[in-house]
Amino acid sequence: MEIVSSIMLCPKCDTYIWDNANFCQRCGYQLIKFAGNSQRLTEHSQKMKPENAGILLQSTQIDRIHNVEQETLYMSAITAMIALIWVYFLVEYVKTSYKPEFILIPAAISAFLLGIWRYQTIRIDKGVAILYPDLFFLESQLDIPDNFEVGTKKFLVEEVAGLDKFFSKEKSFETQYRTVNYLCSNQLCGSRGHYQQNLFAMSLILFFTVLGFYYYVISPILQNKDIIKDMRNGGELTLIYLIFITLGICVMWYANKECPRSPTKEEWEKICNSPPNS
């Protein structure tokens, strides 16, 4: 496969960028060029040596696996914390003759921890996503078949709606690489399971919110009690519930806003009409 332009390394973040780019799309570093002083990985149609590409590919895969392991670690830690909190408060719930606050407090704290889990996972996933263009480029240097059956190209085509149609058109490798780099840098490389995980977390947070709403609003109304007075009687426990449930909703909202996704039809039209320049 011919590479029609030179590729160089960004001095700041070591990502692969085309030699005619003015800045690094990953870190924003402004490229100052001096004649004959670029850190080129390829020169015109010359390719990297397979052994060098293989070493870099292995190193990049290790980085990706490390980030995925971090995501798993956060999920395990949050799950363990939520389980311990519920065990402690359920024991207190029984000891205090089934006082409802000892159900609502762990519910609110769980909502906050679920929000933190999703926020942290999506933050780490950004580090995974920006490795896909590197994998895409390095696999091209190893003569991995240029189809949708193996490698990173196959994975991205399965995850990013519309990418198969984009690749099926006779695009140069440079255009393909720039497009993959643009998609992955802007969280447009498919949800990769994050949408489903966000949906699960949001469902639990919604349930915990409805639980509190019923206890603090609906139940007093049904019993002809003063809602404000009843909440004040709850004291610190009511305040703790309101703080944590509010924080949980806010963090979850932000995590959902940053959730990776596939490009919309309008975004694809824009990409096809004016391919990314770096």
pLDDT tens profile 127-165: 999 999 999 888 888 877 666 567 888 888 888 888 888
User: What would the pLDDT profile of 212-243 be if each residue is shown by its tens digit?
Assistant: 888 877 777 777 777 666 666 666 778 888 89
Interatomic CA distance for residues 167 and 147, integer angstroms:
9
Let me know whether 22 and 132 are in one domain: no
> Helix (H, G, I), strand (E, B), or coil: what is residue 41?
strand
Q: How many domains does the chain have?
A: 2
Up-side HSE of residue 155: CA atoms within 13 Å toward CB? Answer: 14
Let me know whether 5 and 77 are in one domain: no
> Helix (H, G, I), strand (E, B), or coil: what is residue 8?
strand
151: left (phi over 0), alpha (psi -120 to 50) or beta: left
Let me know whether 221 and 100 are in one domain: yes
Let me know whether 180 and 240 are in one domain: yes
Of 30, 47, 64, which one is at a domain's C-terminal end?
A: 47
Specify the pLDDT at position 39: 36
Average pLDDT, the chain: 80
119: left (phi over 0), alpha (psi -120 to 50) or beta: alpha
Edge-to-edge strand list for the sheet holding 40-42: 16-18, 7-9, 40-42
Interatomic CA distance for residues 32 and 203, integer angstroms:
49
Local confidence band at 275 (pLDDT 50, 70, 90 cut-offs): low
Q: Is the pTM of this model over 0.85?
A: no
Let me know whether 57 and 134 are in one domain: yes
Higher pLDDT residue, 244 or 17?
244
Let me know whether 115 and 170 are in one domain: yes
14-23, 148-157, 173-182, 213-222 — which one is most confidently predicted on average?
A: 173-182
Of 25, 47, 69, which one is at a domain's C-terminal end?
A: 47
Let me know whether 102 and 178 are in one domain: yes
Let me know whether 43 and 55 are in one domain: no
Let me know whether 11 and 149 are in one domain: no
Average pLDDT over residues 170-198: 88
E strand spans, the chain = 7-9, 16-18, 40-42
Q: Which two tokens stand for residue 110?
A: 């769980």
Up-side HSE of residue 105: CA atoms within 13 Å toward CB? Answer: 20
Residue 253 has pLDDT above 60, yes or no: yes
DSSP string, 50-119: HHHHHHHHHHHHHHHHHHHHHHHHHHHHHHHHHHHHHHHHHHHHHHTTS-THHHHHHHHHHHHHHHHHHH
Let me know whether 272 and 230 are in one domain: yes
Specify the pLDDT at position 227: 65
Specify the pLDDT at position 2: 36
Let me know whether 84 and 221 are in one domain: yes
User: What would the pLDDT profile of 72-129 be if each residue is shown by its tens digit?
Assistant: 999 999 999 999 999 999 998 888 877 888 888 999 999 999 999 999 999 999 999 9
Residue 1 has pLDDT above 70, yes or no: no
Residue 169 has pLDDT above 80, yes or no: no
Which secondary structure element, helix H or strand E, spans residue 138, and what is its range? helix 132-141
Contacts by 86-94 with C-beta closer than 8 Å and gap 24+?
A: 86/110
Let me know whether 227 and 105 are in one domain: yes
Domain of residue 155 covers: 48-278
User: What would the pLDDT profile of 35-54 be if each residue is shown by its tens digit?
Assistant: 333 333 333 334 677 788 88
Interatomic CA distance for residues 120 and 70, integer angstroms:
10
Specify the pLDDT at position 90: 92
